[in-house]
C-alpha cells in the first residue's frame, strides 16, 4: 500500500510529526520556498497581466529531487507548510512541481504541533486556498515592482547597493520624520510646586500643587514659583476632600505577534528578530521527556486574540487547582478582535497549560525558557479573575486659593496580577503610602519645594515603540516587522544607538529623494490601505489583477518622472545652504565611495571638499581639517615615521616616505588600527590582520595592506589552520548558549572547537 506523503516547511518539524503519525506517512520538508522570482531580472510580465516567471531556487535542487522521488510512491500528498500566506504560496509551488493526473493534494493547517493539533489538522484537510495564494502573489509582485524599479534609480542617483522597499521605505520615513520633529522642537520652561506634609500620624507624604483659584496651575518661570512660595510661607494646609474607590482591572488578552515582540523587547531585551526565532523553536517542537519533540506554543504569526474553548476550559481547571477558586472564572473570558484582524489562527498560547515554565525549565535554553514563561503567564493571566485596586486621593487646601493633591493605591486582590502585570502598571515601590486622615484635619508643613522643568520632544523610536507605530498605522504585518527592522539597519539607512533608532545621513538623503518622487508609496495612509486591499484579496473581495493594475498605473507615472527629474547626489548633490570658504560658491552634500562629504559646486575650478558635522538641531557645519605631524608609529613597509593626516573621508595614518612609499592605515575616530598578530590569509599578501572600527563604531578585522588587499571579517581571525579542510585560519565566536569556540570560516566545513 502506498504511504501518503506529508510535506512541511521546516525540517525541524519532521521529528515532532513522526512522534505522532508514526509509520503511517512519509514526511519531508521543503526548507522554506522552493520557487521564487528570478534574482537578476524583474520576473514580472507587466504587459501580460503581471504574470510572474517563477524559477526553482538554485540551492533547492536536491530538496526538489527528493520530493519528486518520495512522491512517486503516493497518490495523496498532504501539504503542511505554515498556515499563513507564505505557507500557502509554498504549498502551491509544491503542487505545481509534483502535479499528476492521479495525485490528490490536501492542505493541512497545523496550528499547534501536538497530538491533538496534528490529528485535527489531518482529519480536517482543506483545498489549497487560492485567495490566500493570490494575496501572497499580489504582495510579492508589489514588492518586486517597487524594489526592482526604484532601486536602480538609487544606484544611478546616489550609490550602488541601495534598495527601496514598499514597506521598508515608509518605515525609514517614519523614523526620519520623528527625528526632524525632535530637531525643530523648542523646549518650554515650566515649574512644579510640591509640599512635604505630615498628618497627626506618619508617614509624611508629598502633595503637588494642581490648581490656583480653581484653574489648572500653570507656572511658567521661577519668578512665578517664588511668588507662590512667599504666598504659602505661613499658610495653613488642611484636608478638604478624600476620594476613595475600588477599581476593577481586567487582564490583557493573550499575545498576538506584534504584542509579543513589543513585550519581549521591553521585558526580556530581545530584538524583534530574536523573539521570532525563539518563538519558532517553541512552536516547531522541543524534547521535553515525552519520547520525542513536542510543540509548546501555538502558531506565532497571528493578529487574532481568539482562543479555543478547549484551551479556555483547560486553563480554568488549572487556575482552580493551583491558584484557588477565587482566581478562577465561572465562564472563560473571550476577547474581541480588532476589525482588521485575520481570525485564521488562535492567539499565541501554550499548547498545554499544564506544561508550566518551571516544569519545562530543564529542557529549555535560557532564552527559550524566558520567552515561554512570558507567553504562558500572559495566557493564564488572561483567564484569571480581575484585580481589585483601592485608590485614594487626598485634596488639600491652602489659603483658599491653592489646591494640592496626592494619590496612592494598594492592591486589595491581586487577581491576574499574581502572574502578569500590564507594562503600564505603577511599581509598588513608586506608590506613596498615605496616612489615615479625615476631611477638615490640619496638616503640618515640613517644606515647600519648587522645581524647574522643560518640556521634552517626542522620544526617538525603540524597536518596541517602532513595532507599535507600524501596527497602529497598519503598515506591514506582524510577521514582517522583524525583517523590516533588520533591512533598514543593514542598508545603513538607520542606526540603533543606545536602543534608539536614529536616521543616518544616507537615510535622510534617500528618504527625501523618494518622498519627492514617490509621494504615494511613501504615504502612510496609502501603505495601510494597500495592506487592507491585500486582506480583501485574501478574503475574495478583490481581484489580484485589479489591485496590481490600480497600483501600477500611478506608480509608472511617478517612475518615469523620477527617471528624468530625481536629483543626482552623485552629480549635483544636495544643497546645504553653506558657502564654500575658498570661492564663496554653494556647498552641496555628495556621496562617494567612502561616504558623504561636502563639495564645492564650483568644481573643477574649485576643488574644496570637507567632512561635516550636524548638531542636535540638524544644522551643518564644516569640519576643520587636521594635520598632525607627530610621529605615531613606524611604517610596516619602509620603517619611516607615520603621521596622522585628514583626508576627504576622515583621519588616516600616512607614511612620511611618500611618494616613494604610499602606505596608509585607517583611523576611525579615536580607534587606531591594532595588529592582532595574524598574517593575512590571502595568497601572495604580505599584510597582517588589524582590528578596525567601522563608521558605525562596530569592530571588524581587515588587512593592513588595504586597499591593495580587501580581506575583511566581522569575526576575529585566529592563526590556526582548520584540521578538517584547507582553511589557513579559524575565527573566534562566542554565544550564551555555546560559550567561546573556534570555528572554520568555510561555510561548507562544520569544524568547531570549544575554548
Q: For the chain (length 755 residues), average pLDDT per consecutive 10?
A: 88 90 91 93 96 93 94 93 93 95 93 91 94 96 95 90 91 96 95 95 93 96 96 94 95 94 94 93 92 92 90 94 94 80 78 95 96 97 95 94 93 94 55 85 95 96 95 88 91 90 92 93 91 93 96 94 88 86 91 79 90 82 68 81 66 79 66 72 85 72 81 88 82 72 80 73
CA distances from 71 to 8, 96, 721 (A): 14, 13, 44
- 650: nearest Cα among 630, 621, 626, 619: 626
**Amino acid 426: pLDDT:** 40
Segments in 415-523 forming alpha helices (H): 463-472, 478-490, 505-517
**Amino acid 741: pLDDT:** 80
- 452: nearest Cα among 187, 216, 230, 181: 187
CB contact burial 130-140 (16+ within 10 A = b; e otherwise): ebbbbbbbbbb
The reply to whether CATH 3.40.50.140 applies to domain 5-128 is: yes
The reply to whether CATH 1.10.290.10 applies to domain 257-381 is: yes
- Is 254 within 8 Å of 345 (Cβ atoms)? no
Tell me the whole-structure pTM to 2 decimals: 0.77
Cα–Cα distance, 739 to 755 (Å, whole number) = 8
Q: In which residue ranges of the chain is CATH 1.10.460.10 found?
A: 147-185+462-565
The torsion angles phi and psi of 301, rounded to 5 degrees, stand at -115, 95
Cα–Cα distance, 259 to 375 (Å, whole number) = 11
**Amino acid 719: pLDDT:** 86
- 131: nearest Cα among 88, 90, 87, 94: 88
The CATH number corresponding to 147-185+462-565 among 3.40.50.970, 1.20.1250.20, 1.10.460.10, 3.90.480.10 equals 1.10.460.10
**CB hemisphere CA count around 286 (13 angstroms):** 21
Q: Is the dihedral of CA 508, 510, 512, 515 positive or negative?
A: negative
User: Of all helices (H) and strands (E), which one includes residue 249?
Assistant: strand 237-249
Fold (CATH) for 189-250+387-454 = Topoisomerase I; domain 3 (2.70.20)
The torsion angles phi and psi of 80, rounded to 5 degrees, stand at -125, 35
> In whole angstroms, what separates CA 7 from the centre of its chain?
31
**Amino acid 734: pLDDT:** 75
Cα–Cα distance, 37 to 140 (Å, whole number) = 9
Say how many C-beta atoms besides its own lie within 10 A of residue 511's C-beta: 22
The torsion angles phi and psi of 2, rounded to 5 degrees, stand at -75, 130
**Amino acid 125: pLDDT:** 95
Q: Where do we find the cell 483545498?
A: 127
What's the start-to-end Cα distance of the chain, in Å? 52
Cα–Cα distance, 442 to 237 (Å, whole number) = 6
Q: In which residue ranges of the chain is CATH 3.40.50.140 found?
A: 5-128
Q: Is 269 left (phi over 0), alpha (psi -120 to 50) or beta?
A: left
Cα–Cα distance, 261 to 690 (Å, whole number) = 38
Say how many C-beta atoms besides its own lie within 10 A of residue 47's C-beta: 7
**Amino acid 649: pLDDT:** 46
Report helix, strand or coil for 370: helix
Q: In which residue ranges of the chain is CATH 1.10.290.10 found?
A: 257-381
- Is 672 within 8 Å of 620 (Cβ atoms)? no
Cα angle 272, 274, 277; round to 5: 110
- Is 612 within 8 Å of 627 (Cβ atoms)? no
- Is 609 within 8 Å of 594 (Cβ atoms)? no
- 263: nearest Cα among 123, 457, 463: 463
The torsion angles phi and psi of 518, rounded to 5 degrees, stand at -130, 65
Q: Is the link from the previous residue into 659 a cis peptide, with omega within 30 of 0?
A: yes
Say how many C-beta atoms besides its own lie within 10 A of residue 575's C-beta: 12
**CB hemisphere CA count around 7 (13 angstroms):** 31
User: Who's near 439: CB < 8 A, 6+ residues apart?
Assistant: 239, 240, 241, 242
Cα–Cα distance, 349 to 360 (Å, whole number) = 15
- Angle, helices 366-382/309-322, rounded to nearest 10 degrees: 100
**Amino acid 127: pLDDT:** 94
- Angle, helices 130-157/505-517, rounded to nearest 10 degrees: 110
Say how many C-beta atoms besides its own lie within 10 A of residue 429's C-beta: 5
Q: Where do we find the cell 567612502?
A: 594
Annotated active-site residue in 78, 299, 372, 729: 299
706 is catalytic: no
The cell numbers describing 549, all together, are 493594475
Q: Which residues on adjacent β-strands are paired with residue 407?
A: 393
**Amino acid 738: pLDDT:** 63
Cα–Cα distance, 191 to 227 (Å, whole number) = 12
Report helix, strand or coil for 625: coil
Cα–Cα distance, 340 to 85 (Å, whole number) = 16
- Is 301 within 8 Å of 402 (Cβ atoms)? no
Amino acid at each position: 500500500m502506498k504511504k501518503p506523503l506529508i510535506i512541511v516547511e521546516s525540517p525541524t518539524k519532521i521529528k515532532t510529526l513522526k512522534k505522532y503519525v508514526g509509520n503511517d506517512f512519509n514526511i519531508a520538508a521543503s526548507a522554506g520556498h522552493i520557487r521564487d522570482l528570478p534574482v537578476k531580472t524583474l520576473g514580472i510580465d507587466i504587459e501580460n497581466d503581471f504574470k510572474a516567471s517563477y524559477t526553482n531556487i538554485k540551492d533547492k535542487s536536491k530538496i526538489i529531487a527528493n520530493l519528486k522521488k518520495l512522491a512517486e510512491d503516493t497518490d495523496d500528498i498532504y501539504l503542511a507548510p505554515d498556515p499563513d500566506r507564505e505557507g500557502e504560496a509554498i504549498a502551491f509551488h509544491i503542487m505545481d512541481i509534483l502535479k499528476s493526473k492521479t495525485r490528490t493534494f490536501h492542505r493541512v493547517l497545523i496550528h499547534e504541533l501536538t497530538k491533538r493539533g496534528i490529528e485535527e489538522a489531518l482529519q480536517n484537510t482543506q483545498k489549497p486556498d487560492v485567495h490566500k495564494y493570490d494575496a501572497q502573489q499580489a504582495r510579492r509582485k508589489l514588492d518586486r515592482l517597487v524594489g526592482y524599479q526604484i532601486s536602480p534609480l538609487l544606484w544611478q542617483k546616489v550609490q550602488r547597493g541601495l534598495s527601496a522597499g514598499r514597506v521598508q521605505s515608509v518605515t525609514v520615513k517614519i523614523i526620519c520624520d520623528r527625528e526632524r520633529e525632535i530637531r525643530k522642537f523648542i523646549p518650554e520652561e515650566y515649574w512644579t510646586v510640591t509640599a512635604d506634609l505630615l498628618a497627626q500620624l506618619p508617614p509624611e507624604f508629598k502633595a503637588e500643587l494642581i490648581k490656583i483659584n480653581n484653574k489648572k496651575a500653570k507656572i511658567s518661570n521661577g519668578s512665578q514659583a517664588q511668588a507662590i512660595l512667599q504666598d504659602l510661607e505661613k499658610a495653613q494646609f488642611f484636608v478638604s476632600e478624600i476620594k476613595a474607590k475600588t477599581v476593577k482591572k481586567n487582564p490583557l488578552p493573550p499575545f498576538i505577534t506584534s504584542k509579543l515582540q513589543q513585550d519581549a523587547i521591553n521585558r526580556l531585551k530581545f530584538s524583534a528578530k530574536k523573539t521570532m526565532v525563539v518563538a519558532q523553536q517553541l512552536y516547531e517542537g522541543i524534547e521535553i521527556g515525552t519520547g520525542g519533540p513536542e510543540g509548546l506554543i501555538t502558531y506565532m504569526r497571528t493578529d487574532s486574540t481568539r482562543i479555543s474553548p478547549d484551551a479556555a476550559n483547560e486553563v480554568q481547571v488549572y487556575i482552580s487547582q493551583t491558584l484557588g477558586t477565587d482566581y478562577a472564572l465561572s465562564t472563560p473570558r473571550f476577547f474581541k478582535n480588532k476589525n482588521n484582524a485575520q481570525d485564521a489562527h488562535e492567539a499565541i498560547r501554550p499548547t498545554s497549560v499544564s506544561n508550566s515554565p518551571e516544569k519545562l525549565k530543564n529542557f529549555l535554553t535560557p532564552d527559550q525558557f524566558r520567552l515561554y514563561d512570558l507567553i504562558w503567564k500572559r495566557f493564564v493571566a488572561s483567564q484569571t479573575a480581575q484585580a481589585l485596586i483601592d485608590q485614594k486621593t487626598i485634596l488639600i487646601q491652602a489659603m483658599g486659593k491653592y489646591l494640592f493633591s496626592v494619590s496612592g493605591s494598594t492592591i486589595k486582590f491581586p487577581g491576574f496580577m499574581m502572574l502578569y502585570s500590564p507594562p503600564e502598571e505603577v511599581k509598588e515601590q513608586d506608590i506613596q503610602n498615605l496616612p489615615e486622615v479625615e476631611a477638615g484635619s490640619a496638616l503640618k508643613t515640613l517644606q515647600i519645594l519648587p522645581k524647574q522643568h522643560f518640556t521634552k520632544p517626542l522620544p526617538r523610536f525603540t524597536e518596541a515603540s517602532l513595532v507599535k507605530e507600524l501596527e497602529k498605522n497598519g503598515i506591514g504585518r506582524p510577521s514582517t516587522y522583524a525583517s523590516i527592522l533588520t533591512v533598514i539597519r543593514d542598508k545603513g539607512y538607520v542606526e540603533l544607538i543606545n536602543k534608539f533608532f536614529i536616521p543616518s545621513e544616507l537615510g535622510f538623503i534617500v528618504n527625501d529623494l523618494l518622498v519627492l518622487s514617490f509621494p504615494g508609496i511613501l504615504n502612510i495612509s496609502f501603505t495601510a490601505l494597500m495592506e487592507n486591499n491585500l486582506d480583501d484579496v485574501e478574503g475574495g473581495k478583490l481581484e489580484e489583477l485589479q489591485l496590481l493594475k490600480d497600483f501600477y498605473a500611478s506608480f509608472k507615472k511617478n517612475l518615469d518622472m523620477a527617471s528624468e527629474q530625481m536629483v543626482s547626489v552623485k552629480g549635483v548633490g544636495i544643497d546645504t545652504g553653506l558657502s564654500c570658504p575658498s570661492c564663496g560658491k554653494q556647498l552641496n552634500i555628495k556621496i562617494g565611495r567612502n561616504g558623504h562629504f561636502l563639495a564645492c559646486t564650483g568644481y573643477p575650478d574649485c576643488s574644496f571638499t570637507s567632512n561635516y558635522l550636524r548638531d542636535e538641531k540638524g544644522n551643518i557645519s564644516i569640519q576643520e581639517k587636521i594635520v598632525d605631524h607627530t610621529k605615531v608609529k613606524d611604517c610596516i613597509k619602509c620603517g619611516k615615521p607615520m603621521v596622522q593626516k585628514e583626508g576627504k573621508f576622515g583621519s588616516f595614518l600616512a607614511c612620511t616616505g611618500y611618494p616613494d612609499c604610499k602606505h596608509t592605515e585607517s583611523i576611525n575616530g579615536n580607534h587606531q588600527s591594532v595588529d592582532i598578530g595574524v598574517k593575512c590569509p590571502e595568497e601572495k599578501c604580505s599584510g597582517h590582520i588589524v582590528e578596525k572600527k567601522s563608521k558605525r563604531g562596530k569592530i571588524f578585522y581587515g588587512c593592513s595592506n588595504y586597499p591593495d588587499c580587501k580581506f575583511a571579517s566581522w569575526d576575529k581571525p585566529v592563526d590556526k589552520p582548520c584540521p578538517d579542510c584547507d582553511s589557513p585560519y579559524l575565527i573566534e565566536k562566542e554565544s550564551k548558549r555555546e560559550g567561546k569556540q573556534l570555528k572554520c570560516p568555510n561555510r561548507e566545513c562544520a569544524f568547531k572547537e570549544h575554548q
